[in-house]
Amino acid sequence: MTKTTLYHTPNGALAVHQSAGDGRPIVMVHGNSSSARAFSRQLEGSLGRRRRVVAIDLLGHGRAENASDAAAYLLPGHALALVAIAGNFGLDQAVFVGWSLGGHILLEAAKDLPRARGFAIYGAPPSGSAGDGRRVSSPTRAGDRLRRRRDAPASGSLRRVVLRPRLRRTFPTSSSKTRCAPTAGRERKSPASMAPGVSRDEVQVVAGLKQPLAVLHGAQGAVRQRRLSGQVDHADPVAGRGADD
């Protein structure tokens, strides 16, 4: 049975949902206009019975409160809350999984989660800054950096939890209406959270990560590729970086 706890921050309370399992923890962060219900199968299914699966309702989503300060909806604000929850719930050594907005939050928070066992993001191509200050999505540049180590074995945790064949059963898609929950209007209309000077350059974050990272893209999905700083204009549908478990 899933247990829900409200975690209070100066900007409002987030809802933390935990499965009944007690194995190595997995923290799952949902996308914009969604909620922790996106991970209901993981919380309530066999994975949640074997592992301690934790899914968070971000501020302005699901059962969480609306933020009292709009700045809390920016990537640094979400990341700060995630890091605080990890510390207070004993999740600093978890495997962190982020979908869409959740993936960008993980990259923003990664440097402040030095003990994390690994990260997996999907629907969240790492974004870097172009020379003119614009933010651009860069599955190409990040994928190239990851591909340099593609022969390295993936973390055992990520391999078992993320990179297994039944990927579609493991992760949700945004098309399921039952997995959505109310999202605060302020969150939907919040300022550009990935603007230069507001959030970290995700390509640089990826390049400097010490922990295993999996960046997942559907083999049939259209990936908009851009050439950045002379990087190869190509990315594998699924790029993995890791070390021995």
Full pLDDT tens readout for the chain, 245 residues: 899 999 999 999 999 999 999 999 999 999 999 999 999 999 999 999 999 999 999 999 999 999 999 999 999 999 999 999 999 999 999 999 999 999 999 999 999 999 999 999 999 989 887 555 556 565 444 444 444 444 444 444 343 333 333 434 444 443 344 344 455 544 554 444 555 678 999 999 999 999 999 998 766 544 433 332 233 223 333 344 443 33
Cβ-contact 106, 85 below 8 angstroms: no
Q: How far apart are CA 104 and CA 123, in angstroms?
A: 9
Query: What share of residues in the chain are helix, strand, coil (percent, to 5)?
Result: 30, 20, 50
Q: How far apart are CA 208 and CA 202, in angstroms?
A: 10
CA-wise closest residue to 71 among 219, 157, 176, 193: 193
| DSSP-assigned states of every residue in 66-114 | PPSSGGGGSHHHHHHHHHHHHHHTT-TTSEEEEETHHHHHHHHHGGG-T
Buried b or exposed e, range 12-33, using 16+ CB within 10 angstroms = bbbbbbbbebeeebbbbbbbbb
Token representation of residue 63: 């059962």
Rg value, the chain, Cα: 17
CA-wise closest residue to 120 among 140, 145, 94: 94
Return phi, psi of residue 28, to 5°.
-120, 130
Report the CATH architecture of 3-241: 3-Layer(aba) Sandwich (3.40)
pTM: 0.73
Boundaries of every domain in the chain: 3-241
